[in-house]
Amino acid sequence: MNIKESFTNWIYEIQDRICTALEDTDGKARFREDEWKREEGGGGRSRIIENGEIFEKGGVNVSTVHGELPELIRKRFEVDKGWFYACGISLVLHPQSPMIPTVHANYRYFELYDEEGGDPVDAWFGGGADLTPYYLFEEDVRHFHQTCKAVCDQHHPELYPKFKESCDRYFYNEHRGESRGTGGIFFDYLRAKEECNLAFWYTLATRCGDAFLSSYLPIVERRKTEPWGEPERYFQELRRGRYVEFNLIHDRGTLFGLKTGGRIESILMSLPPRVRWDYNVKHDPASREAKLLEVLRSPRNWVD
Amino acid sequence: MNIKESFTNWIYEIQDRICTALEDTDGKARFREDEWKREEGGGGRSRIIENGEIFEKGGVNVSTVHGELPELIRKRFEVDKGWFYACGISLVLHPQSPMIPTVHANYRYFELYDEEGGDPVDAWFGGGADLTPYYLFEEDVRHFHQTCKAVCDQHHPELYPKFKESCDRYFYNEHRGESRGTGGIFFDYLRAKEECNLAFWYTLATRCGDAFLSSYLPIVERRKTEPWGEPERYFQELRRGRYVEFNLIHDRGTLFGLKTGGRIESILMSLPPRVRWDYNVKHDPASREAKLLEVLRSPRNWVD
């Protein structure tokens, strides 16, 4: 079995594992599944959870799409013609409680061909995972980063610092001068190079994905009984507005999906369920809300 | 007084007039005002209304900015260097009641210079007004279009059909295959040309602005007692999500403002206060909700 087949199998298998564990954690809601086909080739399996005890809205989606390169990718890679295969898993969870962070993870693999059915002329992995807290519990953020770092360190000590910095740079609301959340890891265009062949990146990406549940569920368990009320809910809905701003203004993945005719409802499952935009809201500098903003404005190192 | 000075005076004067009338209509909330300065030259006067009896959130903003051309405009106009003056009024109103449409209007004037303090080498007007209903009352949409048409027709019979079509084309959520609302008029780059000199466009733009209250307030009066409940509110919040999608993904004005360092809170006052995104919501084909979607998917002519 080659890397393409192995990774494709893995995304379906990890989708099952993650959904089962999330349903157990939620205890009330179940994922509903939509299989969809892409006219030009391939399709996907979207799984959405809504109105749960823990999860207000979330999606764990896999897709495997292939065919002729869409015009937008041809332009980006400056090629006149070409074929591709792309597959990946993408998940976003928006909890009910403002004390539990939103989480996002995505692992994907891409192959490019000069001719239909030919050998790949280029191939790479991309992905990452990042946390978006509303109220800051430093031990949660440290746990999340620590889990990501442990996986990366198994492969090479330079990976985590690099991926952490890329994550801070990528998930940044330029127009607000603040990060979307407290980061995690982000990587793209991991190609075969010197001692790091594609199998090396395959192992890294799948291990990162395999570690998702252990990076996030302990945080959910710790925070699910944390009390909250209307003021915390209000702040969460305002901050969810920033999440929407990032995804619709800056996120390359979202915009790319929308412009190349991806399935809209699967792409936009990442948007939070209830959101607010109020004018020019200010927070007391001593408040927990201001403390979060401080961290979003100057990203920190969370592990040594 | 030249056109630049006249138009600048007009935007401040019409802001006063519109805000006073909207406060009278609302009967409860008042606009709060923020004056702001732009570091590189100029500034603005934002007026925001929130939690009113009629208006849940709205902004009526004017700005007059000038200085060296920002990089983004230089690129767009393919010039290496240049100065500009831009001023305009922009308003968005999000009513509480799903029975009252959201409305947007914007009128602006732009001058370009080769050298600081020189005569303009280019100048144009832009703007328009458009309606976004949640529940469709055809007579409301007809009234809005009829008012816009009457102003345009005073100038030239070809203007309204042209501006109406531009509006349908511009306020279009490509990724959803549907219009943001039921349209109105939209124009840009109205330059001096043959018999239509700048004074001609100045008169058109200011008359359109002057007609705003009569295009919208009768609709508010007619619908403010229309009953509604949770299901209508729910649909309104979902549709507001589409409004956000348009403004953040497609609206040139919003993206331009964000990328050229405009005042974020003034630009994003256009976003609705409470918004929802649920997964793949479907409506009974015989419902009022489906009827709206039908009109958004195939824009109609609203006046003969």
Select from A255, A272, A276 the Cβ nearest to the Cβ of B274: A276
| Contact residues on chain A for B259, CB-CB shorter than 8 A | 175
CB spacing of B244 vs A244 below 8 angstroms: yes
A182 or A258, which is more confident: A182
CB spacing of B264 vs A57 below 8 angstroms: no
* CA distances for A38 relative to A35, A42, A44, A263, A264, angstroms: 10, 5, 8, 8, 12
pLDDT of residue A256: 82
CA angle A219, A223, A226 (to 5 degrees): 170
Residue A297 tokens read as 């404005």
User: Residue A72 and residue A123: Cα distance in Å, rounded?
Assistant: 18
CA angle B61, B63, B106 (to 5 degrees): 55
Residue B218 lies in a domain: yes
Each residue's pLDDT tens digit, B182-228 = 999 999 999 999 888 999 999 999 999 999 999 999 999 999 999 99
User: How confident is the model over A26-52, as a mean pLDDT?
Assistant: 96
Count of other CB atoms within 10 angstroms of residue B15: 22
CATH number at residue B235: 3.40.1500.10
Each residue's pLDDT tens digit, A107-141 = 999 999 999 889 999 999 999 999 999 999 999 99
Instruction: Supply the mean pLDDT for chain A.
Output: 96
pLDDT of residue A226: 98
Residue A94 lies in a domain: yes
Single-letter code of the amino acid located at A163: F
Residue B39 lies in a domain: yes
Each residue's pLDDT tens digit, A217-251 = 999 999 999 999 999 999 999 999 999 999 999 99
pLDDT of residue B6: 97
User: ipTM greater than 0.90, yes or no?
Assistant: yes
Q: Which of A263, A279, A280, A297 is the best residue to mutate to test the B interface, defined by the most B CB atoms within 10 Å of its own CB?
A: A279
Residue A303 lies in a domain: no
Q: Choose the weakest-confidence range: A2-16, A105-119, B27-41, B248-262.
A: B248-262
Domain count along chain A: 1
In contact, A234 and A276? CB cutoff 8 Å:
yes
Instruction: Supply the mean pLDDT for chain B.
Output: 96
User: Residue B85 and residue B90: Cα distance in Å, rounded?
Assistant: 16
Q: Which of B30, B175, B246 is the best residue to mutate to test the A interface, defined by the most A CB atoms within 10 Å of its own CB?
A: B175
Each residue's pLDDT tens digit, B91-147 = 999 999 999 999 999 999 999 999 988 999 999 999 999 999 999 999 999 999 999
The share of chain A scoring above pLDDT 90, in percent, equals 89
pLDDT over 80 (residue B1): no
pLDDT over 90 (residue A194): no
| Contact residues on chain B for A56, CB-CB shorter than 8 A | none
pLDDT of residue B91: 98
Using a CB–CB cut-off of 8 Å, the residues of B that contact A are 34, 48, 50, 57, 59, 175-176, 237, 241, 244-245, 248-249, 255, 258-259, 264-265, 268-269, 271-280
In contact, B184 and B149? CB cutoff 8 Å:
no
Closest approach of A170 to chain B, Cα-based (Å): 17
pLDDT over 80 (residue B260): no
DSSP state letters, B201-248: HHHHHHHHHHTHHHHHHHHHHHHTT----HHHHHHHHHHHHHHHHIII
Q: pLDDT confidence of A1, banded at 50, 70, 90?
A: confident
pLDDT over 90 (residue B262): no
Residue B252 lies in a domain: yes
User: Model-level pTM?
Assistant: 0.96
pLDDT over 80 (residue A277): yes
Sign of CA dihedral B201, B207, B209, B215: negative
Each residue's pLDDT tens digit, B50-101 = 999 999 999 999 999 999 988 888 888 788 899 999 999 999 999 999 999 9
Residue A304 lies in a domain: no
Residue B304 lies in a domain: no
* Domain span including residue B258: 3-275+282-297
Residue A184 lies in a domain: yes
User: Residue A172 and residue A250: Cα distance in Å, rounded?
Assistant: 8
pLDDT over 80 (residue A260): no
Using a CB–CB cut-off of 8 Å, the residues of A that contact B are 34, 48, 50, 57, 59, 175-176, 237, 241, 244-245, 248-249, 255, 258-259, 264-265, 268-269, 271-280
The share of chain B scoring above pLDDT 70, in percent, equals 100
User: How confident is the model over B155-165, as a mean pLDDT?
Assistant: 97
Q: Which of B120, B108, B44, B109 lies closest to B82 in space, CA to CA?
A: B120
